[in-house]
Structure 1
Amino acid sequence: MEFKLFLARHGETDHNKGSVIQGQLDIPLSKNGMNQAKLLAKSIHHLQWNEIWTSDLKRSWQTANFLVSDEINHQDDGDNDALLMSKPLSAIQSDIRIRERHYGICQGQSTANLKKMAGEAGVKISNFVPPEAESSEDVRKRAISFFKDLCDRQILLRMDDKESKILVVGHGGWLSEFMTYLALPQTGRSSFTPSELEAVSRITPNTAVSSFEIQLQSDGGVSLIKCLALHDKSHLTSPVCSDELAV
């Protein structure tokens, strides 16, 4: 069987805009992040989801709320926006394995301070693990665990479905580790092009979407992963900054 997997990053937060490290701090969407989610909702409203997954952090499920709400055409409906920001809709399932990387003592601090700490430790920032923080490998293990359970569930529940579509709304660092894993040869028979392999681990902009076709064997093993789109932000009407770090 096969299914299509859509991966979206949450909308912008004030911490994103201010280059403050969020990690697993429970920061809500900003007004701009809400508008980004509304624009994405309009571009994908025709899709019917079999499953919708988010982390349990506000910025993730709040984004998903806007994506699956029937009220996709509202622009300035404050009451409806407040409702969508207050609690997850019933269609949404959350999993703590989708959470952003925990940045330990650096959470709530500036990215400039993180770079300074990495420099003082003589470590590249991409390899630096602050005290009390998760490593990139820890995050990838969480992503792999979630993906394997997701594949097993498709075999159990949707063997006869022809057009199964799953939406996962996550975080920049988590998505980077997850998509890097999807591109690994040992994950499945990959059909990624050289340019896709080069781009897959980049930090995706807020509300950008990547999509993949996943083909499964009857035992839940992956037989083929095909990349359909990477970091698509064509729905956004103004330029967005791609983070150097997912924080």
Structure 2
Amino acid sequence: MLLLFVRHGETDFNKNGRIQGSLDTSLNEVGKKQAIDLSNCLCTMKIDKVFCSNLIRAKQTIEPFLERKPDIPCQYFSELQENCMGTLSGLTWDEIKLKLKQEKTSLDDYGESKIEFIQRIMNFWENVILPMQGHISTILIVTHGGYIATLVNQLSKLGFLNVPKNIVITGSPKNCSISAINVSNKSSYELISYSDVMHLFYSQEIIVGVDYKKIENSNLSI
């Protein structure tokens, strides 16, 4: 089973370096263009199902693709939202660091704690995604940067995810990027790509950094 994780397109908060968390922000003009480029790439692939965060920036990211492929089922989940940052939402990281220092607090004192966020991610992985293995070939999951980065990190820590040496993981994936995980069985996964954005630069030729279609058609994606 091939899982394609897409981070939502750019928002003004992204552009200005402000933390969104669970704030319901919209795509800016760059993000809307990214969503169209993404749809050009995705339309070359056979996708069986879409799971999407119920926040508007995620919905807007997948909208151009769903308009072109209306028969593909799409489900929206609050469980796919970004980490809730509480009253820290809307601030820059510099502002957050200053606030934590002045109030003598930590990130876990606001919104969702790190442990709560990981538990939410892993519960969705175990109860919604993994049961699809063996029944569906390819699932597209539209979510958020912190969500994808935390999932990859957690699966790797648990020893379930093989990360090839040629894939470098540096922080959260980029806006509208594709990160792919192949699930061979319920305890063995491989990271195929991380933060792939080639489709945003070569959308007219529908070129992507990784040949996902080839992976789809191989035994790996069963």
TM range (shorter): 0.7 to 0.9
1:117 Cα deviation after fit = 2.2
**Structure-2 residue corresponding to 1:97:** 79
Question: For structure 2, which runs of at least 5 residues remain unmatched after alignment?
Answer: 203-222
Q: Which residue of 2 aligns with 1:79?
A: none
Structure number with the higher helix fraction is 2
Q: Which of residues 2, 5, 24 is equivalent to 1:4?
A: 2
Partner Cα distance (1:152, 1:232) in 2? 23
2:40 matched residue in structure 1: 42
- Answer yes or no: is the 8 Å Cα contact 1:106–1:130 preserved in 2: no
- Within 1, Cα distance between the matches of 2:102 and 2:174? 29
Q: How many residues end up aligned between the 2 structures?
A: 202
Q: Is the 8 A contact 2:3 2:183 kept in 1?
A: yes
1:138 paired to 2:116: yes
Cα shift at 1:210: 0.6
Q: Deviations over 1:81-121 (max 9, x none)?
A: xxxxxxx9983211111111111111123332112123446
Show the counterpart of 2:195.
231
The equivalent of 1:53 in structure 2 is 51
Q: CA RMSD in A?
A: 2.6
Q: Matches of 1:67 and 1:111 in 2, distance apart?
A: 33
1:52 and 1:166 in contact (8 A); partners too: yes
Partner of 2:210: none
- Structure 1 residue matching 2:118: 3-state secondary structure: helix
Structure 1 gap segments, 5+ residues each: 72-87, 217-221, 239-247
Q: Over residues 208-243 of structure 1, what are the superposed CA-to-partner deviations in whole Å (9 max), with x where a residue is unaligned? A: 111011022xxxxx23101111110112239xxxxx
- The reply on whether 1:205 has 2:174 as its aligned counterpart is yes
SS in 2 for 1:69: helix
**Aligned structure 1 segments of 4 or more residues deviating by more than 3 angstroms:** 118-123
Could you tell me the TM-score, scaled by structure 1's length?
0.73
Say if 2:150 is the partner of 1:177: yes
Q: 1:66 to 1:182 in 2, by over 3 A?
A: farther
1:33 alignment partner, one of 12, 25, 31 = 31
Task: In structure 2, give the amino acid aligned to 1:133.
Answer: G
1:64-90 Cα deviation digits (max 9, x unpaired): 11233318xxxxxxxxxxxxxxxx998
Alpha carbons 1:65, 1:89 under 8 Å: kept = no
Percent same amino acid at aligned positions?
24
What are the Cα deviations for residues 39-79 of structure 1, in whole angstroms up to 9, with x where unaligned? Answer: 111122111222201111000111111233318xxxxxxxx
